Structures are given as structure tokens and as C-alpha cells.
Structure 1
């Protein structure tokens, strides 16, 4: 079995497991999700993301290193709802100049905190999932922040979704080395919907 075939097999198993879990949870809704009308709007937070997308990436070549050199490349994404709308999964192809890889984005809404959590599972490192960013949408902009490390030092990570329409969206990632006082945007994605 080739390395690429093994990677696709592992990716397929992860996606199938997540999809099955989402389907099961969708059928057997939790009591809080089924009975709380305040959750109804949250079930539609990600409706716009469902479907197939072409993605144009722009990424800083080095992060938190004073770099101003960007690289651009293509990719794609397919997203669907899980957990009766209180979760999503997306399957991503990222065509880095150094080599294409796949990744899975996982989102879930927590009624107790009133926040969405977003996890990223990089297909190159299938044994680990990155720490989540948490937040939500306000005035059409989604902001999600979390803690991580970069080269052994603690950083804050921020995802932002904006410019959301029926056919396009903008995503960007920024890192902060100083607890959120300053931010360096290091990755941008322009999403364009693929029509069937």
C-alpha cells in the first residue's frame, strides 16, 4: 500500500467516523438541543458553508518572524452539517507548493458556554488534533480565539470569517505572541462556491 493510499484510507476512516457520529447525534438529539428554542438560531450559523468550495490560499512563508513574503496556492473544501445543525464537518484539500495534503475541520456548539469550538485535524499528523478556537458570530463576522504554541512558545490563535455571501466567503488566521495585544495575520482563504 502506498503512503498516499494509506493517508487516504486514514482520512476516509476519520471522516466516516465523524459523519456517523454526527448522524447518530442528529437522530438522537440531546434533551437540551431538542427542547431549547434559543438554540434554533445557532443551528443555522453555518448553513452558508454547506456545499463545495474552491479555495484560494495566501499564506505567510514564516510566522511571527517578521516575514512579509506570501505564497499563494489553491485548494478545495466540502462541508456538511452534523448534530442537528449544532455541528459541522468539512473535508479540505490544501495544495501547498511543497505538496498537497488533506485536513478536516470540525465544529460544535456548546449550549452551556454559548460558543462554537473549532478543531483542525491535519492529515499529515492524523494522531493529533489541534487545540480548539472558540467564539461565535456577531454582525455577520465570526471570531474564534484559542491558545496554542508555536516553536515551543505560547501564542493565541484567531480565526475570522467575514464577507459571507451565498457564493463567497473570506477566512483568515492570525497569531498573537503577546496575549492578544497585537496580531499577525498569516493565512487568508478566499472561498468561491462550486455550483453543481
Structure 2
């Protein structure tokens, strides 16, 4: 029987301290990173077939609120993920993917600095007390990836 994806994000339910590490310039060959703290509260929706997390990010370039909305398709077990950011109107284009072997991998497309890019999210190192999320961009159709943002979650 195929796994329908329900409760894949149940690990995120509750309150978290988040340590952010962001690349100063994306897709520019930079290796200059900056770090800051934040918080996150996550919860399931619609019987585990949906998930929301609400973030506060103390970014030194300007603190802001953001959220993620996720929904699984029980027919395929694949999740769609939308990022909402208080600095920008609307929703970012969704990423899609799922979990295998305790690691969640999700892909999508967007644009960066006026050019189309591929985006990858990876959820890993998931335990009762922590988790790791990373974002990477590719400007060459997914041949190479540049990790540009890492969140280290610690249970509050």
C-alpha cells in the first residue's frame, strides 16, 4: 500500500528556536554567510494532510514574519509547499516532493534577479528535539546546486 503523505510534517508540530544561516549573495559565487535567530510554531491541518508553520526571523537586514503552507495529495503522497513572506505580496510558486528514508526533498521553479531558477528544499536530521532545513538554487537546470539558506531547528 502506498504511503499517502499524511503526518509527514507532524514532527514540526510545536514551538521551535531556529538558527538561520544565509548566504550574503545568491548565485554570485559568494562564500560569505551571516547568521541570526528566529522562532517557529508549526501545526497540522486537515487530519495531517496539511501543515502550517509561522516564523519570526530576526534577520539583521530587517526582521520579518513568514509562513509555510503545505498540502499533501493523498493519491500520490506528494506534498506542495508555498512560502508566504511579509516583505512581499502573494505566494511564492510551490515546490513539490516528499519524504523517503526520513529525508524530505522538494523541487520547484521561480526567478532570481530576473532569471529563471530551480529551487530545492531538503528536510533532514529530523528527531524529537531538532531538524534541519536547507534551500538551494540552481541556475543551470539542476545540474549544480548552491545551498544558500540553512535553518537549524531546536525544540523550544
Question: Given the two structures, how large is their TM-score scaled by the length of structure 1?
Answer: 0.77
Rounded to whole Å, the distance in 1 between the matches of 2:31 and 2:6 is: 39
Match status 1:164 vs 2:108: no
In structure 1, the residue matched to 2:147 is 185
Alignment root-mean-square deviation, CA: 1.3
Is the partner of 1:48 in helix, strand or coil? Answer: helix
Aligned residue runs from structure 1 range 1-196, under 5 A: 42-125=5-88, 127-194=89-156
Rounded to whole Å, the distance in 1 between the matches of 2:134 and 2:32 is: 16
Rounded to whole Å, the distance in 2 between the matches of 1:140 and 1:111 is: 18
Give the gaps of 5 or more residues in structure 1: 1-36
Report the count of equivalent residues.
Answer: 156
Question: Given the two structures, how large is their TM-score scaled by the length of structure 2?
Answer: 0.96
In our comparison, the structure showing a higher alpha carbon Rg is 1
Higher strand share: 2
Rounded to whole Å, the distance in 1 between the matches of 2:79 and 2:5 is: 9
After TM superposition, give the deviation of residue 55 of structure 1 in Å: 0.2
Rounded to whole Å, the distance in 1 between the matches of 2:33 and 2:2 is: 42
Rounded to whole Å, the distance in 2 between the matches of 1:48 and 1:88 is: 10
Rounded to whole Å, the distance in 2 between the matches of 1:112 and 1:71 is: 41
Tell me if structure 1 keeps the 8 A contact 2:5–2:73.
no
Structure 1: 4+ residue segments shifted above 3 A? none
Higher helix share: 1
